[in-house]
Structure 1
Amino acid sequence: MGLHSRYESSPPQLSSFSYQLESPRSSPSASYSHNNALAPRAPEYEPDLNLQWPFGKLDGLDKDDIREAAYELFFTSCRSSPGFGGQSALAFYSSHDHHGDTGVPGSPGTPGSARPGGVGMMTNSKIKRALGLRTLKRMPSIRRASLGGGPSSPRDFHVNEHRHSHGGASPGISFTLPSPRTSRKPLTSAEIMRIQMRVTEQSDHRLRKTLMRTLVGQRSRRAETLILPLELLRHLKPSEFRDHAEYHYWQKRQLKILEAALLIHPAIPLEQSNPSATKFREILQANEDKPVDTGKNSETMKQLCNSVLSLAWRGPHGTSDVCHWADGYPLNLHLYVALLQSVFDLKDDTAVLDEVDELMELMKKTWSTLGINRAIHNVCFTWVLFQQYILTGQTEQDLLSASLTMLVEVASDAKKPSEREGMYVKILTSVLKSIIGWSEKKLLNYHESFCKSHSAMMENLIPLALQARKILDEDIAAIIAARQEQGEGKLEIDNPSGDPVAHYISSSLRNAFAKIAESMNLENMQELGEKEASEALILLAQATEELAAKEKVSYSNTLKKWHSVSAAVAAVTLHSCYGNALQKYLAEVSTLSKETIEVLHRAGKLEKVLVQMVVEDTVECEDGGKSVVREMEPYEVDSIILRLLRKWIDDRLRKGKDRVQRARETETWNPKSKAEPFAQSAVELMKIAKETIDDFFDIPVGLSDDLVQDLADGVERVIREYSSFVASCGTKQSYVPTLPPLTRCNRDSKFAKLWKRAGCNVASMQELHHYMAAIEGHHPRPSTSRGTQRLYIRLNTLHYLLSQLNFLDKSFALASRGNPTAPKRFPSTRKTPLTCASFFELARASMQGAIQHVAEVSAYRLVFLDSNSVFYESLYVFNVANSRIRPSLRILKQNLALMGAILIDRAQPLAVKEVMKAAFEAYLMVLLAGGCTRTFYRQDFEMIEEDFESLKRVFCTSGAGLISEDDVDKEAEALEGVVQLMGQSTEQLIEDFSTLACEKSEIGGSAPGRRLPMPPTTGRWNKSDPNTILRVLCHRNDRAANQFLKRTFQLPKRR
């Protein structure tokens, strides 16, 4: 918490001795009697699930566990007070006892709140008087009660409970308990607290016995240094419980408290690797199945004691002189809140005990152990009062008023620089958010929450919510800002803008309006016919007028205390609500009709009533309410018509988008006929576009240039979306084979030996020759796959769309110029008039890109996938002479012929050009990245050059001038340079490579002894690229190339 008291001390050694504990003296009480202990519990109220618990969650511990642990800690802290420990008070030191007494309502230490020593219980409580709480009035009872406590469970609370005597005290040492009384006597504060916290007499018996044994010879020992759960575990034995199960449950509770205090929520952050924590977790795990042996000679108990003491006496930088065992958040607040909740009368949960002053003074003694200070106490007590108000059915307004009084003190604390510690800010923020959350949930729907007879509740709740919001938005925000300026951590808080009361009014009226609309089934307006919907809107206008009148009479006078123009805010809200309903109604109307006009007239009448309400409420404002009226968006017919037109445009565009989506799901790229070799979905989309444009210009309303451009932009977006779908066919790189690793040819390689032996390679060659012979037949078949043919249909579709854009452009241009003298109902914001060139330019550009992309993908698929077996996989395999390019060219011609038969004329030039590029790249890969099955000799140059010229002729003669000879030469320029390298001598290649490699790497000339760098593979192969020359050398089958590659780059041999 960071609020712990500091004192000079060291971890105490656990004592095995005990001493005699005297019977508590009775303190005369003027109000709390045995009748209260015997009284039945107050009626159970249904919990309000909307109230959020602000102090975090404790896993494994329920409310009863927390309550009993809180009582044990309370009793231990107060043991020096009469009624708790003996006739003479044990010395107790706390840094909180005598400091900070400010007279704050609800805080301990208020002057005159209790008699010295805590003996006399004052009936005239100053805390209650300061908080405005009523004094309890109890009738005398003739019943006599013996002093006793109820069991742990509040449902089974009885005072006349059977008693058990338990042994376990050391021989020769006596132990005295309060003896049963046969006459009514005032209860001590200890007895009152035990009964209020529903602790059994047996539990209290065991607690006193433990303290007696623990504090032998340590009367001055501070309460903060006493790790109570550990002492209870050490001193209480199974024989002191009714049965084994009860003892096991009790032991598990004590260990769970220690686990929460030292492992889960420690005050000092704990490392997971802490050995004491590890040992403690092992003991906890063992306790799940059976009780831990706590005997005097138990090794487990020794380990538990050592672990707990080590963890409790930790500091930020090692061992500390301060004991931290119950001051970790949120455990400490759970325990303290459990104590504070005991101040409510058991007979009447809405009333606070008259003895609250002394009980609060005693609770103060727990502050040093829990790390609590007065500011945190004020926050917790505020929360407890507010929670009790809600849990008791919101029937006692005094509790709500007391919460507000305490909240004022909390606001004062929050402004003090001394209270800007991080954990205090976190606690305060959490409590305020919980209070605000519940309060504003009520206020944001006050028409439902408060009827006219509950105006007092509303008047009390509004200032509470406003005060909490003010602290959060101003004080907490200022603290956080100051901390951030100092470089400390951030803490996010909600900081809504605007007047909260105006927000309450607006939200509540919106909820009330929504309830009326729901009763008229306006939420399902689309299910109503146009006539029924119109009648409902007229009735809704009448109901809205009545709601405005009710607001003005029943609530505005109350709300005016916090908002000067509350009625005006209400009128503006209702005006907006009906306007939204009107818009929803008009959203279902495609054209103006008689019913629509009637609804608009009734809306205009309602608008006048609400405007008049604003004017009357703002008559004292400087501008006469004009600024408020300006917040009311008028129900203008022109704006409604404009929205109808835009809605019509959106509906038509949505229809086009739906067709695009359906194409994504169902399009198979099979043309309807040879006359229409493109996708049918494109035809349907263009039909929708044409109908939309024609129908738009047939609407009998003067159209602005803005509306025309909006429609054109929407149509263009739909067409671009469709063209993007058509072009979504992958990438060309997905078809290109992976480059094999660079190796050097070796005359004595296994490949050469197998070749000479004519082993399995002969069989492979025979298969290849048979395959080539089949291709050489008179009727070779094209290798174009169905997937590639579907790509051709995509190309046709894109060209069809491109041609249709021209017709749509003309339609827009002609319609826009069709009647230049027609009046424009809606003004235009365009600075320049529309022209034919201003439509669909983006769609044209994106479509051209899509055409280029699909052409590339189809070409690479044709060459590298469909024709792979006759081109890249077979060309020049094993040797050049026996695997020439002629068979591959015959298949290529057949593929080009089939492509020409499928593609429309406009698509063929680009498609053939992309096939040529792909073929050239494949040929380059054969020469430069053919793998270990390809080796070349210098004398192969003539055959390669001849094959290269044959490949070029295929594209020069393909079609009727589809590609010019100059274009073919230009695209083949890089390939031609590589072919020329195949004819150069090895020595020349080595020399050229060395020069270019040095130039590229900027290391100067190739001096002797200097190692040449390995040139990177760029993929842009040409005769001036050192990587290209290196690849030619890798495929050159001679000794000079082999030696150079081995010596320069240590390239591996081919296998």
Structure 2
Amino acid sequence: MDQQAALVNHYRCDRRKLLEFLLSSGLIKELRTPSGPINSLSNLDFDSISADYIIHCVESGGVVDVTEATCKYSDESAYPVTIHSQTRSSYFLVSDPESAGSPPRRAPPPLYAKQAVDASCSSTQVDSVFVEKAAASGDDCVPSLGLPSLKTGLSDDDLRESAYELLLASMFFSGVEANSVEDRRKEKTSKFLSGLKSKRDKMQPQSQFVGRKSELMDTVRVQMQISEAMDACTRRNLMQLAARKMSGQIDLTHIALGLLNGTFKSDFPNERSYMQWKSRQANILEELLCYATDTTTEHLTIRNYVAKIRDEKEWDTMMSASERVAVVASIRQVAVKLSSLPTQFGIQGETFYWTAIYHVNIRLYQKLLFGLFDVLDEDQLIEEADEVLQLIKLTWSTLGVTEKMHDALYGWVLFQQFVRTGGSVLLENAVLHLQKVLSTEEDDGKEQYMNSLVCTKHCNSSHLKLHLLQSIFISISMWCDYKLQDYHSHFSQKPCNFRMIISLVSAVGVLASGESGDLKLMKLNASDANASRKLKSYVEKSTEAAFRKVASKVDFESKIERIHPLAQLAKELKLIAETEFNVFNPVLRCWCPESVITSVVLLHQCYGERLKPFLKGVSSVSGDARSVLPAAYMLDQYLTKLYTSALEANKMPNSFNQDFEHYQIEEIAKPFILDWVISQHSHILEWTGHAFDIEDWEPLSYHQRQAASIVEVFRIIEETVDQLFGFNLPMDITHLQALLSVIFHSLDAYLMKMLNQLVEKNHLYPSAPPITRYAETVIPMIKRSLVVGTLLDENVACKLNELTIPKLCIRLNTLQVSVSFNLLWANMTFFYIALQA
């Protein structure tokens, strides 16, 4: 309900800005009322005007009938519609669309309703289904603290404005001056006109101090979105109130009654602002006094007086000034009676209101702390945060805040702002303050007091009573529990936040269920087996969620990449495993050493279940198998490597080793690869013969050493080898032997064709010259015989005609290169065999 109420208020604020822009931007030509045209927007109630009607008027001519706009709004008030959707359940927020979330399922509340939206209601309707709602809506919502619900129509804006009034009053009653901007201007002017230099010099240190406080309060005013006019009026009345009562402790009822006495309708720019302010003061009084008292008579008295204050005609028209003073005095008597009641814990400065209205006190203090975040950059604290925090501490005695309680609430507020904005610095500061809570020791009285601040949470159809610290820790742990169940999705982009979230969980505790089914927090301890099991469950759930998310979109992505879905899935799972090992494991292994092993085995099993049906249908290394098998094999090898590395890094015992069932890619692919290699034999022979047939062996330049055909043969062989190893599949010696055989026979066929074009060596010798045509004899004394010439065969003669010296050189060089290439491949194969052995 807290989240829903915040969204409603957020929607109303954006809606007002839209209407103010449309009505003041010149797009509207005329505003009509039953009494005639109006020229001012100050008296318009933007919360009761239809935004759709105004937009329609802009499109149709720019004339707006205010009465009709109000009627249109009442007709449309079943749902807060700003877009024309059939479901009537969606709208956009301009200021922060990312944290807008799902729309409320009801209309925004009327402005002056007596039973308005509870801005911080009990969590009894939220916490039991927090995870389901968060998962369904995609919101970064935080479970509420479960403070007692507000009985009146106090909105977030009301609480923020009342918190600012309390801060001003605390400063004035503590003696700290904080003049407004206008007061400082007058002060400077009077000093300039006085001309008393010596006196001004004496006042300078004090003026600088006062000026600094005023600057801080101006910063706070801007941060808390208080107008200058309202601020000036509030300061004036509170200063007068402080002047009349300089002793005693201030309380919230005293502030509200003092402002009602000194503030008039003429102090406001329009009637609507005055009515909002007066209704807020009445609601504050009713909330404080009716909640604190148990007697029926006092209840009725307060409600009767508050009703008079709310009634515009009775309070501002019918009642005289003395009658209004009498009403305020009567309410003050009840307030004084309650404030004088005995306290419970004997703490110094304790009042009855500390425990009676703690649900209001805590909400107001949170509003003050939220003012420390820069309105222009909400994930950063303002530069003056430390100084403003010192001013905020002046409210401790009024609101019943202790040092430990402050650290808890400040850590809670920082955590909520981190959830809204994602600022890592905010998360780091939240962890520091919550760790400080655990290390802070207070006396028994303060501990008992904090334990009395009861919050209610819903668990398994029962109401669980918790004290404030328990509620803060459990609410934070619930959010962390939800996020850690899918940490791959939430923290992959900001891994530093993951480390801080684990630190946060180690501080507040891990969410667990007790024996009776109620909620409890378990300390994160490396030696605690239960904590290790809890973190292991996070690893399992997050890994499963990451797998489901990738598997759901892999079909679409595979169409874009034009590869098989299983190949795309393997690629995505490898990225998940890398992130788990490099990003999340260094953080988790301190408490859960087997985190990587758990994630890797789960990813391997999930992919294997999808791969098995595909493997049964593989009949060759082609088509889809050519993309799926290598991807599956590489994923299998990578996950195995991570698995082994995790065992070694964490020095896991052998008994911890789990069976890692491989995908059997090698057994399936081996025969298909061998068939493919053999099938390439005829292909290479065909292209080798073609290259040889078109070779003319004539060198094109002096630099050419071998034939172009042998280069082409080498290129064909290289392509075949590249294709084989491009499969990225496991191979053994059989495949290499088959490849070597193909290469050898291809080159052998080429060489045989070359040898067939050569002639015997004796045919290369030239014929003996006629003058020496005698044959040598062994015995010199024998007369030499004549050399008888022989006729060459026609085929040999043709070959000799083709064997010019350049062509012969090209052939010889080609022969040498071919033989060297064959020897090289043979040596490489033998070397591989030796490695395998």
- TM-score norm. by structure 1 comes to 0.38
Structure with bigger gyration radius? 1
- TM-score norm. by structure 2 comes to 0.47
Higher RCO, 1 vs 2 (CA within 8 Å, ≥6 residues apart): 1
